[in-house]
Structure 1
Amino acid sequence: MLCNRVLHLTFHHLIPKKMHRRTFFKKHYKKSELAQGIDICRQCHDGIHKTYTEMELAKHLNTFEAIKDDEKLSSYFAWVAKQKVSRY
C-alpha cells in the first residue's frame, strides 16, 4: 500500500497494540477502532517504527492518510519502492 511492491505483507495497527491498555486510548477509542490497521510490507513496517515512537504513532499518525502524507515517511517509502524484492 505504501511502496507499491508486490510481496508478503504484515499487519500494522494504526494505534500500536502497546497503547491499547493505556487509559487515554481505552477512554477515547472503541475496541474496533483500536483493532484497525493496514497491510504493508515488512520493510515499510520497520521504517515506520524506527522513525516514530509508539506514542507518536498512536496520537499523530493513526490513519493511513497521516502515515502516507508524513514527509519523513513518504521519502522513506519512495526509497523502499526502489529496492529489489527478495524472494524466499
Structure 2
Amino acid sequence: MPTKRVDTCPCCRRTARLTFHHLIPKKMHRRPYFRKHFSKQTLQQGVMICRQCHDGIHKLYNEMQLAKHFTSLDALKEDELLARHFRWVGKQQINVKQ
C-alpha cells in the first residue's frame, strides 16, 4: 500500500496529503464472492485521494455498495452524489502540513 504523499487529488483537484482508498473495500476481501471473482491483485487496487474526498465516499456509500458499483476512479467520479461532494471539497481550503 502506498504511503501518504502530497499531490493533486484526482477527485477534487486540490493539492493535499493523499490517502489510499481500496476500490473494493478491505472488509469485502474475505467474502467468498469477492475471493472467487477477483484476484488478490485486483482486490488490492486503489487510488490515492485526499482525506476529505475519502471520508465523503465512505459516508455516502457502505462497503457493499462501493464493492459492487464503484470499483474504478471513473465510477466514483461519475456518480452524481460523489461528484457533488468532490465539487464542494474542491472549494475548501487545505492545510498541507496536517
Query: TM > 0.5 between the two?
Result: yes
Aligned match for 1:30, one of 8, 28, 39: 39
- Separation in 2, partners of 1:10, 1:32: 19
Aligned-pair CA distance for 1:49: 0.1
Aligned-pair CA distance for 1:83: 0.2
In the superposition, the TM-score normalised over structure 2's length comes to: 0.88
Calculate the aligned-residue CA RMSD, in Å: 0.6
Partner in structure 1 of residue 12 of structure 2? 3
Gaps in structure 2 of 5+ consecutive residues: 1-9
Partner in structure 2 of residue 50 of structure 1? 59
**Larger RCO, structures 1/2 (Cα 8 Å, 6+ apart):** 1
Gaps in structure 1 of 5+ consecutive residues: none
State the Cα deviation string for residues 34-82 of structure 1 (Å, max 9, x = none): 0000000000000000000000000011111110100000010000000
Identity of aligned residues (%): 58
Instruction: Count residues with an aligned counterpart.
Output: 88
Q: Which has the larger share of helix? A: 1
- Separation in 2, partners of 1:67, 1:12: 11
Aligned-pair CA distance for 1:24: 0.3
